[in-house]
Amino acid sequence: MTDTENTPKQTALYDKHLEAGGKMVDFAGWEMPIHYGSQLEEHHQVRTDAGMFDVSHMVVVDFTGEDVKSFLRHLIANDVAKLKEPGKALYSCMLNEDGCVIDDLIVYYLSDIHYRMVINAATRDKDLAWITKQVENFSVDIAERDDLAMIAVQGPNARAKALGLLDAETAEKVDALKPFYAYPMGETFYARTGYTGEDGFEIMVPNEEAAELWDALKAAGIEPIGLGARDTLRLEAGMNLYGTDMDETTSPLISGLGWTVAWQPEDRDFIGRTALAKEKAAEKTQKFVGLVLEGRGVLRGHQKVITDNGSEGEITSGTFSPTLKKAVAMARVPVDIGDTCTVEIRGKQLKANVVKPMFVRNGKSLLEA
Amino acid sequence: MSNIPDDLKYTKSHEWVRDNGNGTVTVGITDHAQELLGDIVFVELPEIDTEYGADDATGVLESVKAASDMYAPLTGEVTEVNEALDDAPETVNTDPYGEGWIFTMKLDSMEDLGELLTPEAYTEEAEA
């Protein structure tokens, strides 16, 4: 692993980030822009217009071969058998034998012998090691696509602005994509997916074409957005972050991800099923909720949550929501939590309201007035 | 390169201090500090009429990224706080040496000002 020692890697868009004034930080071994000036302005740019993120650090893996479907039905907790139309995507957790989360991912069905998976950058090595270990008895080839860059184009105007750059035939196909569908066009791959709670695309493109696409998107009025705003956007949208909201010690059932586990058909033997079924049958002690701080202040990961009964939980991720102008958080708490609770911030007990862990979608607040 | 005005004193913890000439000083955070913090979304102000020792935590600045403590530059009593920051904390980003001031203190001894960093010394500190 000499190539990853200490020196952070650069994506194909590194020079573009410098050009745009990106403040570069080390993120999971990659030199990535945290912001280009103001994280707040970038956040609003995505909620109200269109922004783009370099997400080339994320890991694209192609699975091919005759056993690919049966392998993936074993590997991940959601069921790829649900995917019947080419291009359809599925969000899933990959579990260990304890039923806890190794990573969360998106898998695209391209054909019966070809699926494409996108996993997190921070978990690349352990994910690939785990997958390689599990694949032994299957006839499946695994190819990491580090030849591809990925740009996420997000916001209410993102689709329209991006579509204007495509040739008529491609534009028609890409425009027709329903949410959570993808369309491969040669080596370029257009997916109507994202991590912001806004409409848009995630576009995979060969590394050597990435800078040109970036420039064209920028010329179309799509502004560069850093990873800082990506985090506040995903949190407002109630989307989990691996390593923060769930990890190898927490199951999807206590991470707000129970909906991603496909229990039917009952005879599908996915990794972690036995442990997870046992947890499901036992009495529930924890759940995953959203919190909104009533007064002023900022909720952060690891702050203590105290229910009215005095039992304790913890915030998994929190932030100041630029859209709502309030602090919001996701938290893992005892099941006895009521409609309100207190959060301990620097020794003070502050009141918070307990809500569903989803705060903003398509530019609009989901909180009751 | 961040802005470090000549007529102010500074601390290693990135506060600036202005001598108001009447036994009080005004305190804020430097341009360099606000740049490091990023967009500030909440300022926890100190308590008025409260005595703080030099380097005591007087409040907290919260940016979208992180929370950062703010310290009393010298020993004294807080006389005023900038309540406008409750509604517009971003002023600390946009005008750190002006409207973005944070509090004023009556110092126990104005001679203590000599212990603070000069603009030159702070420039070195900020560049380190």
In order of their start, the domains of chain A are 283-365 (2.40.30.110)
Alpha helix positions (H), B38-118: 84-87, 91-94
Query: For chain B, which residues lie within 8 Å of any Cβ of chain A, measuring from their own Cβ?
Result: 38-39, 41-42, 44, 60, 62, 64-65, 67, 86, 90
Residue B1 pLDDT level (bands cut at 50, 70, 90): low
Question: Does residue A228 belong to the interface with chain B, where contact is any CB pair within 8 Å?
Answer: yes
Tell me what pLDDT residue B54 has: 94
**Do A39 and B44 lie within an 8 Å CB cutoff?**
no
Q: Chain A residues with CB inside 8 Å of B60's CB? A: 346
Q: How many CB atoms lie within 10 A of CB A180?
A: 17
Q: Chain B residues with CB inside 8 Å of A35's CB? A: 38
**Do A39 and B64 lie within an 8 Å CB cutoff?**
yes
Q: Round to whole Å and give the CA distance between B46 and A131.
A: 53
Which strand (E) or helix (H) includes residue B26? Answer: strand B24-29
**Do A228 and B44 lie within an 8 Å CB cutoff?**
no
Which two tokens mark A209?
């074409």
Alpha helix positions (H), chain A: 14-19, 39-48, 68-75, 124-134, 158-163, 168-175, 207-219, 227-236, 273-281
Contact call for residues A214 and A13 (beta carbons, < 8 A): yes
Residue A294 per-residue DSSP state:
S
- Rounded to the nearest angstrom, the gap between the alpha carbon of residue A361 and the centroid of all alpha carbons in its chain is 15
> Given a cut of 90, is residue B128 above it in pLDDT?
no
Q: Round to whole Å and give the CA distance between A133 and A98.
A: 17
**Do B90 and A40 lie within an 8 Å CB cutoff?**
yes
Q: Round to whole Å and give the CA distance between A61 and A127.
A: 11
Residue ranges of E strands in A284-347: 286-293, 304-306, 312-321, 326-334, 340-345
| Min Cα–Cα distance to chain B from A322, Å | 9
Q: Which of A296, A319, A346 sits opposite B64 (nearest CB)?
A: A319
Q: How many contacts (CB atoms, under 8 Å) link A and B?
A: 36
Residue ranges of E strands in B30-87: 40-44, 51-52, 57-63, 67-71, 76-81
User: Which residue, among B71, B123, B62, B72, has the nearest Cα to B93 in the 3D structure?
Assistant: B62
Give the pLDDT confidence of B26-62 residue by residue, as tens digits.
999 999 999 999 999 999 999 999 999 999 999 999 9
**Do A298 and B90 lie within an 8 Å CB cutoff?**
no
Output b/e per residue, B79-115; b: 16+ Cβ within 10 A.
bebbeebeeebbbbbeebbeebbbbbbbbeebebeee
pLDDT tens for chain A, 369 residues: list them: 445 557 899 999 999 999 999 999 999 999 999 999 999 999 999 999 999 999 999 999 999 999 999 999 999 999 999 999 999 999 999 999 999 999 999 999 999 999 999 999 999 999 999 999 999 999 999 999 999 999 999 999 999 999 999 999 999 999 999 999 999 999 999 999 999 999 999 999 999 999 999 999 999 999 999 999 999 999 999 999 999 999 999 999 999 999 999 999 999 999 999 999 999 999 999 999 999 999 999 999 999 999 999 999 999 999 999 999 999 999 999 999 999 999 999 999 999 999 999 999 999 999 975
Residue B127 pLDDT level (bands cut at 50, 70, 90): confident
- CATH number for domain B28-112, candidates 2.30.30.240, 2.60.40.10, 3.40.640.10, 2.40.50.100: 2.40.50.100
Q: Residues with Cβ < 8 Å from A369, sequence gap 6 or more? A: none
Which two tokens mark A236?
């407002």
**Do A228 and B41 lie within an 8 Å CB cutoff?**
no
Q: Chain A residues with CB inside 8 Å of B35's CB? A: none
Q: Which of A39, A297, A327 sits opposite B39 (nearest CB)?
A: A39
**Do A298 and B44 lie within an 8 Å CB cutoff?**
no
| Min Cα–Cα distance to chain A from B39, Å | 6
**Do B62 and A320 lie within an 8 Å CB cutoff?**
yes
| Beta-strand pair A51-54/A101-111 | unpaired
**Among chain A residues, CA nearest to B93:** A38
